[in-house]
Structure 1
């Protein structure tokens, strides 16, 4: 098993971070989608109840993934040349930005809020007596909306993988799956 990235494929660490984040982000979308469709009830409450803790894990994994991408930047497969390569790099940049911004806004909102923040029962931020509006307002305003923007960007990401595999047959998915 290839642990590190190479010019031809992603290593086990990059793949683990990618697919773990994909699964956790899918969990978040599933929970919020069910809440939108059915409201908050016993069934959807389970998913919604995990949202903060899973979001915190996503934040930690994204920080690790960004650090790993920086450390591995000279070994990673290229996005390709020309306009398509630049578009792929920009798309990945937008995904990283959203994966960092969305949980950061939620953490800022939790820090400034009156409920505190205790993922998995471990207190990170104690409840405040009074809300700090400057800290909670950005998250209240765009956290959820940016999440749905990220869903659209992820759909584009998946569509491009399908295009690479179905039309161009260039092995993009195999490189990410570790078989290229």
Structure 2
């Protein structure tokens, strides 16, 4: 098992971080989608009730993933050259930016709010007596909307994997799936 990235494929660490974040983000979208479709009820409440702690895990994993990507940047498969390569690099950069910004906004909202934030019983922010309106307003305005922008980008990311595999047949999926 190859732990580190190479120019031919991503290593086990990169793949684990990629797929763990992918599954957790899918869970988040599932919960929010169910909430939009069915409103709040006991079934949907289970999914929505996990949103904050799962979002916190995503944030931690994405920070680790970004640091790992920076540390591994000279060993990783490159995007190639030309316009398509530049678009791929920009798309990945935007995905990373949103995966950092969205939970950061949620943390800002929690910091400025009156409920506090204690995922898994670990207090990150104590409850406040008075809300910090600018923090909660800014986060309330952008967190969900940027989440749906992320959903569109992820759909584009998946679609491009399909293009790579079916049209260009360049083995891009194999690099992240770990198959030889």
Counterpart Cα distance in 1 of 2:120 and 2:48: 14
TM-score of the superposed pair, with normalisation by structure 2? 0.99
Deviation at 1:90, TM superposition (A): 0.2
1:136 to partner: Cα distance: 1.1
Match of 1:15 in 2: 15
Structure 1 match to 2:179: 179
User: Where does residue 169 of structure 2 map in the other structure?
Assistant: 169
Runs of 5+ consecutive residues of structure 1 not aligned to the other structure? none
Residue deviations 1:80-119, cap 9 Å, x none? Answer: 1100000000000000000000000000110010000011
Over 6 Å off, 4+ runs: none
**What CA RMSD, in Å, does the superposition of the two structures yield over aligned residues?**
0.6
Q: Distance in 2 between matches of 1:80 and 1:130?
A: 52
Q: Give unpaired runs (5+ residues) of structure 2.
A: none
Output the TM-score relative to the length of structure 1.
0.99
| Higher deviation after alignment, 132-141 or 33-42 | 132-141
Show the counterpart of 1:155: 155
User: Which residue is 1:143 aligned to?
Assistant: 143
Mapped partners of 1:179, 1:81: distance in 2: 24
Residue equivalent to 1:49:
49
